[in-house]
């Protein structure tokens, strides 16, 4: 399994590190436009191999896409991150051009690749890759829900006073401060609905804290987060590499599923060797449906800013 990560910045390097540490890929290529940067990150990471016990070969490339040839999975993290006070949507102007150019270059050298889009605004960037590359829909996957769900579980565990491993939950909808739909009704502690343990008010607080998870970290760090994003991507790449058929909420092109059309937004999907193996159309309550529709309207509004 060969994986390319475009963007050797905070998120790209974290993706490469977690993929390598999990030791399921034979090769990871990191590519960046900044001279020598990807090569430096790759060398630094390779010098952790004997310490962390992995055999994945990591190499770097300064914008030379021939080095990425025949990648099975390509992860796009290139682009600017937000600063405190900004929304992800404000990044569209710069990131759309980068994502369009990068995805075309990747596909030129790896026509059979599966693409995972990370750059923000992620749902719109995923839609852009659909509109401009012609790759089949199962091979274009946006990463947002896996991260948002991890943050949801972190907040749930905090509220419950429980270990995170005892908690399960999922966030669907757009990867934006307003658009996330944490499914509190379906969240559990060891199979028991979390509503058995905490009040509606506390659960509402968990929901709100989850939705602004990225903004909270951006406020603390001065730029957006990277560890959990990298770990979330590595989990998705592993599911594809090992054909696990695990369910992740991912941004995918909807063609009638959940009553939505012509946009990419986070819904549960099965990930395996073909990328998105299927969309899992779970039953939503009326309130959840209307939150997902509102979220979709927000994503479509951002999509309309694309010059297609």
Specify binding-site residues for NAD(+): 7-12, 32, 95, 118-120
Interface residues toward ligand NAD, by CB under 6 A:
6-12, 31-34, 37, 77-82, 91, 95, 98, 101-102, 118-120, 122, 143-144, 147, 175, 223-226, 229
Phi, psi (deg, nearest 5) at residue 263: -160, 160
Look up 130 and say whether it is catalytic.
no
CA 286 to chain centroid, in Å, comes to 27
Q: Does 130 interact with ligand LMR (rule: CB under 6 A)?
A: no
Asked if 28 contacts 15 with a C-beta cutoff of 8 angstroms, the reply is no
Query: Of 91 and 271, which has the nearer Cβ to ligand NAD?
Result: 91
153 binds ligand LMR (CB under 6 A): no
Q: Are 25 and 19 in contact (CB under 8 A)?
A: yes
Strands 188-189 and 261-272, how do they pair?
unpaired
Nearer to ligand LMR, 71 or 124 (CB): 124
Q: Select from 60-68, 198-206, 221-229, 249-257 the region that touches ligand LMR (CB under 6 A).
A: 221-229
- Secondary structure class of 226 (helix, strand, coil): coil
Contact characters 90-129, ligand LMR, x per CB under 6 A: ------------------------------x---------
Buried b (16+ CB within 10 A) or exposed e, 145-166: bbbbbbbbbbbbbebbebeeee
**How many H helices and E strands in the chain?**
10, 14
DSSP assignment letter at 82: P
Least Å from the CB of residue 271 to ligand LMR: 20
Contact with ligand LMR (CB under 6 A) among 14, 103, 218, 302: 218
Among 2, 41, 82, 100, binds ligand LMR (CB under 6 A): 82
Shortest Cβ 164–ligand NAD spacing (Å):
19
Tell how far CA 306 is from the center of its chain: 20
Q: Provide, rounded to whole angstroms, the least separation between the CB of residue 84 and ligand LMR.
A: 10
Instruction: Write the CB contacts of 207 (distance below 8 Å, at least 6 apart in sequence).
Output: 182, 184
What DSSP element (H or E) covers 262?
A: strand 261-272
Could you tell me which residues are annotated as the binding site for substrate?
82, 88, 120, 151
Looking at beta carbons only, is 224 or 295 nearer to ligand LMR? Answer: 224
**Under the criterion CB under 6 A, does residue 236 sit at the interface with ligand LMR?**
no
Residues annotated as catalytic are 175
């Amino acid at each position: 399994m060969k994986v390319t990560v475009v963007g050797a910045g905070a998120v790209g390097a974290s993706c490469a590190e977690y993929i390598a540490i999990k030791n399921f890929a034979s090769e990871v290529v990191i590519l960046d436009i900044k001279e020598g940067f990807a090569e430096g990150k790759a060398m630094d990471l390779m010098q952790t191999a004997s310490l962390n016990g992995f055999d994945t070969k990591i190499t770097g490339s300064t914008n030379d896409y021939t080095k990425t040839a025949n990648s099975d999975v390509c992860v796009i993290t290139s682009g600017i991150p937000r600063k405190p006070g900004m929304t992800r949507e404000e990044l569209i102007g710069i990131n759309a051009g980068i994502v369009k150019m990068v995805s075309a270059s990747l596909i030129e050298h790896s026509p059979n690749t599966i693409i995972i889009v990370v750059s923000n605004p992620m749902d719109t960037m995923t839609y852009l890759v659909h509109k401009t590359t012609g790759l089949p829909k199962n091979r274009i996957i946006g990463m947002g829900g896996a991260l948002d769900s991890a943050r949801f579980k972190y907040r749930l565990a905090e509220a419950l006073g429980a270990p995170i491993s005892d908690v399960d939950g999922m966030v669907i909808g757009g990867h934006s401060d307003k658009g996330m739909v944490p499914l509190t009704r379906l969240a559990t502690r060891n199979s028991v609905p979390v509503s058995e343990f905490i009040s509606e008010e506390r659960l509402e607080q968990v929901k709100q804290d989850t939705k602004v998870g990225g903004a909270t970290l951006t406020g603390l760090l001065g730029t957006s987060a990277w560890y959990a994003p990298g770990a979330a991507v590595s989990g998705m790449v592993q599911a594809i590499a090992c054909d696990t058929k695990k369910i992740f909420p991912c941004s995918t092109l909807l063609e009638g599923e959940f009553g939505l059309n012509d946009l990419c937004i986070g819904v549960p999907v099965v990930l395996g060797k073909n990328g998105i193996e299927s969309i899992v159309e779970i039953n939503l309550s009326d309130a959840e449906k209307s939150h997902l529709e509102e979220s979709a309207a927000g994503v479509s509004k951002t999509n309309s800013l694309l010059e297609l």
